[in-house]
Structure 1
Amino acid sequence: MGYVFDENGIEAVICGFHKNPHEILGMHTQGDETAICAYIPNAKHIEVVFYKSGLSYEMDKKDDRGFFTVIIPGRPENSMYKFKVTDHTGHRFETYDPYSFLPTISDYDLYLFNEGTHHRIYEKLGAHIRNINGVSGVSFCVWAPEAKRVSVVGDFNQWDGRRHQMRMLGSSGVWEIFIPGLVKNDIYKYEIKTPFDEIYLKADPYAFYAEKPPKTASKVYDLHNYEWHDEQWMKQREKESTFDKPLNIYEVHLGSWMQQPDPDPESETGFKPLSYRQLAEKLVPYVKEMGYTHIELLPVMEHPYDGSWGYQITGYYAVTARYGIPEDFKYFIDTCHQNGIGVILDWVPVHFPKDGHGLARFDGTACYEHEHPLLGEHHQWGTHIFNFSRNEVRSFLISNAIYWFDIFHVDGLRVDAVAFMLYLDYCRNDGEWIPNRYGGRENLDAIEFLKQLNCAVYKYFPNVLMIAEDSTAWPMVTRPVHVGGLGFSHKWNMGWMNDFLRYMSMDPIYRKYHHNLITFSFMYAWSENFILVLSHDEVVHGKCSLLNKMPGDYWQKFAGLRAALGYFIGHPGKKLLFMGGEFGQFIEWKYKESLDWHLLSYPMHEKLHRYVRELNNLYLNEPALYEVDFHYDGFEWIDCNDTENSIVSFIRKGKDWRDMLIFVCNFTPVTHENYRIGAPFYTYYEEVFNSDREKYGGSNVINAGKIHSENIPYHHRPYSLVLRIPPLATIILRPDLKNFR
């Protein structure tokens, strides 16, 4: 009895709906015969060559659509063989048979992935350069559970989806193939036949690199080819938490921080962004000199639309090609670490865009998103919402968070739009949302996801930053999961930011009627581990730049901003300032254009720049300003009730009570020559900082020399000080406590 071919299987392969083409293609043995099958459309002639034995066999064209077979007596001793192919144009090429290799992902990996607990699935899914049985090539794995057929396409097969059809591994929804001969930088996509017989071309969700937009193909890439030099930083990070350390973050959009002339005649602006390596040489020393401890980057994951600022991601595992290659980005982070600067990435697990090459309707169905539009559509942004109830989606996202820490050595993730994840009805009207299974508005699946995310991250990287951008009053965001919290390390203080900027935008004459806007935040300042933020969101869409928010004339705008930043540095909580705020960018941020660095040639901008630099360095050197940010032991009011003069005074303390600073903030343009405040000790006090100094652009109303407190009780204190209070200014004093025990 001769070899019996599976005719139905052959037809399924040719027609593109066989979920395991490896059952038909490649080498198979029946009894004492072995058949080799190949499906190579447009092939005219194929010869099978066994390289160890030197034996070769002509293949028969079993079907004119390109299906070839050959039957060999017995079982070949060595199964490594190649096809020598001649196509209809006379072109010849050789290739190992992709269908002669075993799967490159284990059943255990698939089990964990389907369970939602595979924290490093990026090591298996996606495209990986491998050497199997001495053959170099690339393994491809992708999750597309409802697809009829998935193929890898690219220049290497003329984008012909018939050529490299993948197999689905059991019921996992994962498709796999190893393609010999492919190398780094080969471009590819997945051609997916949907359940409705549509053909989609999709970028790889797990691709490590991609073409530079507006092109959208994925690229084969090897991420293990960079030699790091940040060992000292990484070892130190393992030992120390950030809670009692200075955390002063400079928020940056890489494309618009600084630009260079663009020789491209079709350039829209005549300028282009700096590369990752150029940013390493320019941005890092600048941040270090300015006294920042961390750089926070608006999303650097691949995204198609510049106007999304990176927040609508199509390539979660691919650093954007706009500024260079992955090694260049590693060099940037490495340079940061060698200079004592941490790196935080904005990360967006709430939603993704609807671009055709991205995650949307990936296999023709709601794969990564919810099927129901009231759950799966983000109407404000025109995007899809991740389906956090799906195990494979959780594996995708949690692994992605781990990936940035693991492969790129980042020091933190700022998780975007957490409020939209916590509540099903957030920014939605009645009838635009579906209650949870208990009838409530909490998004139970997203909440569980956030807890799993933070537990996983801190399992592997104990002292990194996981920062929630959350504008709600959800309790215990920064408390451990095991005590009922969400498990974040820090939370953006959006309430403080809104109140503070509203207050600072008022004409000073009205501020006394709204004094609570700068004092109310102390009612909840220690309920979470807060970061005070003056972020990019506050200097766009008609909100004005920080400097231009300040009321009054030219001088008053600068004085107001200096006073505001002084109060900002004294208020409990870690700090974040968006780029441009440090030198008084006058116009709103524009993502297509560079910051207005030429403003530093104007005296008031240069003096503000100097002020921020020296204020930041004061922050770095004063334990009172950072050691006890998250407990009321680090703060005391002196007076929060002087509404008539719009003045507040308070004390900041470090772990050692002798590390103490007194802040007095005047939010009106009125000078007070003999202003009395309560003092905690009978000793000398020295003014260590004054935003009104002439070198900062102020009027030089200062408290010279040492001031001794008087034995006059005031503000419920046993002693008091009489000070000169400059207009629109923050002053900082230090008591002499050398002789106190």
Structure 2
Amino acid sequence: MAEVKKDTTKKTVSKVARKTKTADATKTQHIGLVKNDSWLEPFEDAIRGRHENAVNRISRLTGKGRKTLSDFAGGHLYFGLHKTARGWVFREWAPNATEIYLIGDFNGWQENPKYKMKRIEGTGNWELKLGAKALKHGDLYKMKVRWNGGEGERIPAWCRRVVQDESTKIFSAQVWNPEKPYVFKKKNFRPSKSPLLIYECHVGMSQDAEKVGTYKEFTENVLPRVIKDGYNCIQVMAIQEHPYYGSFGYHVSSFFAPSSRFGTPEDLKEMIDTAHRNGIAVIMDIVHSHAVKNEVEGLGNLAGDPCQFFYPGERREHPAWDSLCFDYGKDEVLHFLLSNCKYWLEEYHFDGFRFDGVTSMLYYSHGLGEAFGGYADYFNGHEDDNAICYLTLANKLIHDVNPYAITIAEEVSGMPGLAAKFEDGGYGFDYRMAMNIPDYWIKTIKELRDEDWKPSSIFWEVKNRRPDEKTISYCESHDQALVGDKTIIFRLIDADMYWHFKKGDENDVAHRGIALHKMIRLVTAASINGGYLNFMGNEFGHPEWIDFPREGNGWSYKYARRQWNLVDNMELDYHYLGDFDREMLKVITSIRNFQNKPVQEIWHNDGDQILAFSRGELIFVFNFNPTRSFTDYGFLVPTGSYEVVLNTDAKEFGGNGLADDTVMHMTVFDPMYVSDRKEWLKLYVPARSAVVLRRN
């Protein structure tokens, strides 16, 4: 879910140290988060308070015989519909209900005493036990719920399979108990994080045809492309069932059910297993920030209490998203959401989650209209401590269940500690999205002439992050490709893509766009400290926008697909960008733990529009100048010989091929820098190009 984006610049406030007396002397004893950032000292009490709140909540939830948070998060094993040795058992949490019947294909959708649930004494839970022949695989069903003053048909909150009737468009739960359930072939999988290279994707819009794509088609047609292109992780959107396809999967109704639009649970498991067998991690775009308002399909009014899962009063509805906000202060809601995390990890072998809409969870205001101009803005009492506690517990649980799991926060306010360790007082995410970077590129392309692009500003922005928190850097994601926005390639070339993107027929606008598209990606990927993300198709400059079928476009799928035929057509320029993206990732992964190598500036000159920096044995040189090429442009670098390993201006990437990349570049001695063990590396740097060199 796209959020209003804000600056994530590190804020500054006056320093105040908390000191404690010891027998020997006065010493400062700070929590880890404050040790790593002394500007947080004035807010250490708040940081400690949030951490202690999480610790106390864990202690409370793991009482009564539960040893771990993972033991607490087993709701999916108890609630919902389960086949047992004696038959079937169905349970639901519905404290406001007075009667509940199971209705469906098996009883003509009529209330039948045999299918009437019983309230478990002293709880808000209901239970129904049935014989083995009472239900069969494929049966459709719902709950018929009564409460004081009303009644309604409902899809169970914990159901694992929901399908939509093609003619009536009505959703129903479905009994899922196949004779041959899928058995994972790859039993143990450990994601590669050196670095994490994410291919963000949507199964439904992943095919060339104007239709809804399937898990099987994704496995057969898209996964091979991901593998070939060098990405080691896919981030899959719209997995949790959602009534409206056009919501991009962000208005979830059934949190435990994978979307049946794309196929069966077995198909999804096979897709994940196939990815694992090819070294590809699979993380899920999970939505715990809000839920769809629908009552029949969703949780909006499961049993006559509109606030069973959600905050009461004005806080119940999200003012911008037309959705409902979970009450993270309720233990039962934590049970539901934490169990949801564990379920997707264990049942489907997902390798982690990208948590959507975290900013919306953190603040009572959902971050709307907030400026976040200083550290005090994160500790002024407008934060939802319940949500902060939930996110901390979710990360703790996920990493307890799978120590190698990946968690990423989509968060735009810059809340410190989000991706810091739990033990240090952080919230425990592995990464946070560097959402400032795409904003910067949009602003630069829209507002500045090419002559005014400043390398110093570019370098600062792509490195603008907290040193103790890992980030996922990216130029653009699905957010920038939606109707009402534009991808980078479309901002650069626009309508000329339709007329001048064939080899030999390019105009100046197309040449400029091709050149800058590669340079923008390279400088962003080359400066990562955690991982890099690309949305499906953007690597080759997919044209146009994303627009899901809706009344306004005649329910067309024309823009809800990926036109792979464009990048496969060697007569068009798209393959230049795709080929470059593949080679760029090869260069980055050629250095072990590239993301941990320090980014060291060598030189920048805003007048020349030149930038150079190093990472390990690699040197990255950029000339953003649109018209000036430079001969023998010198940089002081470690003594040695350097070979070109990547050049954006190479002809195989749609460039001019002005430099001879077969030449080995030797450094030139300068007596002034003997003690530094540095010499001059002199290069020919064509206008609007970048080159990567490796020291031998």
Q: TM-score, normalised by structure 1?
A: 0.75
- Give the drift of 1:504: 4.1
Counterpart contact for 2:618–2:693, Cα < 8 Å: yes
Higher mean C-alpha displacement, 365-374 vs 693-702: 365-374
- Give the drift of 1:575: 0.6
- Give the drift of 1:506: 4.7
- Provide Cα deviations, 1:497-535, integer angstroms capped at 9, x if missing partner: 322332244554353468524423424253411001321
Which of 92, 96, 108 aligns to 1:142? It is 92
What SS does the corresponding residue of 2:85 show, helix, strand or coil? Answer: strand
Q: Does 1:725 align with 2:674?
A: no
Q: How does 1:296-695 map to 2 (within 5 A)?
A: 296-357=235-296, 358-428=298-368, 440-512=381-453, 515-524=456-465, 526-533=467-474, 534-550=476-492, 553-573=509-529, 574-591=531-548, 592=557, 593-600=560-567, 601=569, 602-623=571-592, 625-626=594-595, 628=596, 634-640=598-604, 642-653=605-616, 660-695=617-652
Which of 118, 121, 146 aligns to 2:75? It is 121
Distance in 2 (alpha carbons) for counterparts of 1:570 and 1:183:
54
For the pair shown, the structure with the greater C-alpha radius of gyration is: 1
Counterpart contact for 1:129–1:139, Cα < 8 Å: yes
- Give the drift of 1:250: 0.8
Counterpart contact for 1:648–1:666, Cα < 8 Å: yes
Q: How does 1:71-82 map to 2 (within 5 A)?
A: none
Higher mean C-alpha displacement, 596-605 vs 491-500: 596-605
Q: Does 1:227 align with 2:183?
A: yes
Counterpart contact for 1:212–1:320, Cα < 8 Å: no
Code of the residue aligned with 1:721 in structure 2: it is L
Distance in 1 (alpha carbons) for counterparts of 2:329 and 2:490:
45
- Provide Cα deviations, 1:594-642, integer angstroms capped at 9, x if missing partner: 212232324311221211122222222232633x1xxxx52111124x1
Distance in 1 (alpha carbons) for counterparts of 2:112 and 2:304:
19
- Provide Cα deviations, 1:136-181, integer angstroms capped at 9, x if missing partner: 3x21100111111122111222222353221111232111001222
- Give the drift of 1:688: 0.9
Distance in 1 (alpha carbons) for counterparts of 2:240 and 2:349:
15
Counterpart contact for 2:192–2:232, Cα < 8 Å: no
Flag structure 2 segments of 5+ consecutive residues without an equivalent. Answer: 1-61, 371-376, 494-507, 549-556
Distance in 1 (alpha carbons) for counterparts of 2:627 and 2:447:
15
Counterpart contact for 1:249–1:295, Cα < 8 Å: yes
Code of the residue aligned with 2:301 in structure 1: it is R
Q: Does 1:248 align with 2:200?
A: no
Q: Which residue of 2 aligns with 1:156?
A: 106
Deviation >6 Å, runs of 4+: 108-113
What SS does the corresponding residue of 2:540 show, helix, strand or coil? Answer: coil
- Give the drift of 1:549: 2.0
Distance 1:287 1:725, change over 3 A: same
Distance in 2 (alpha carbons) for counterparts of 1:521 and 1:490:
15
- Provide Cα deviations, 1:431-478, integer angstroms capped at 9, x if missing partner: xxxxx9x97101000000111111111111001101111111111111
What SS does the corresponding residue of 1:634 show, helix, strand or coil? Answer: coil
Q: Larger relative CO (CA 8 A, sep 6+): 1 or 2?
A: 2
Q: Does 1:202 align with 2:166?
A: no
Distance in 2 (alpha carbons) for counterparts of 1:130 and 1:368:
29
Q: Does 1:175 align with 2:126?
A: yes
Which one has the bigger strand percentage? 1
Distance 1:729 1:589, change over 3 A: farther
Distance in 2 (alpha carbons) for counterparts of 1:212 and 1:294:
30
- Provide Cα deviations, 1:259-310, integer angstroms capped at 9, x if missing partner: 44xxxxxxxxxx3233212221111111111111111111211111011011
Distance in 2 (alpha carbons) for counterparts of 1:226 and 1:166:
31
What SS does the corresponding residue of 2:269 show, helix, strand or coil? Answer: helix
Distance 1:608 1:523, change over 3 A: closer
Distance 1:227 1:369, change over 3 A: closer
Distance in 1 (alpha carbons) for counterparts of 2:638 and 2:650:
26
- Give the drift of 1:377: 0.8
Which of 183, 186, 189 aligns to 2:142? It is 189
- Give the drift of 1:418: 0.5
- Give the drift of 1:588: 1.3
Counterpart contact for 1:128–1:139, Cα < 8 Å: yes
Distance 1:700 1:522, change over 3 A: same
- Give the drift of 1:381: 1.0
Distance 1:685 1:624, change over 3 A: farther
Q: Does 1:734 align with 2:691?
A: no
Q: TM-score, normalised by structure 2?
A: 0.80
Code of the residue aligned with 1:205 in structure 2: it is A
- Give the drift of 1:417: 0.6
Counterpart contact for 2:455–2:609, Cα < 8 Å: no
What SS does the corresponding residue of 2:84 show, helix, strand or coil? Answer: strand
Distance in 2 (alpha carbons) for counterparts of 1:149 and 1:274:
40
- Give the drift of 1:370: 3.3
Distance in 1 (alpha carbons) for counterparts of 2:449 and 2:680:
27
Counterpart contact for 1:569–1:625, Cα < 8 Å: no
Counterpart contact for 1:505–1:550, Cα < 8 Å: no
Q: Does 1:707 align with 2:671?
A: no
- Give the drift of 1:700: 0.8
Q: Which residue of 2 aligns with 1:80?
A: none
Counterpart contact for 1:692–1:727, Cα < 8 Å: no
What SS does the corresponding residue of 2:683 show, helix, strand or coil? Answer: strand
Counterpart contact for 1:496–1:521, Cα < 8 Å: yes
Distance 1:504 1:525, change over 3 A: farther
Flag structure 1 segments of 5+ consecutive residues without an equivalent. Answer: 1-107, 261-270, 431-435, 654-659, 737-741
Distance in 1 (alpha carbons) for counterparts of 2:138 and 2:520:
49
Q: Taking every aligned residue pair, what percent have the same amino acid on both sides?
A: 26
- Give the drift of 1:384: 0.2
Distance in 2 (alpha carbons) for counterparts of 1:109 and 1:258:
49
Code of the residue aligned with 2:664 in structure 1: it is K
Q: How does 1:56-71 map to 2 (within 5 A)?
A: none
Distance in 1 (alpha carbons) for counterparts of 2:589 and 2:281:
14
Q: Does 1:130 align with 2:93?
A: no
What SS does the corresponding residue of 1:572 show, helix, strand or coil? Answer: coil
Distance in 1 (alpha carbons) for counterparts of 2:459 and 2:478:
21
Distance 1:686 1:143, change over 3 A: same
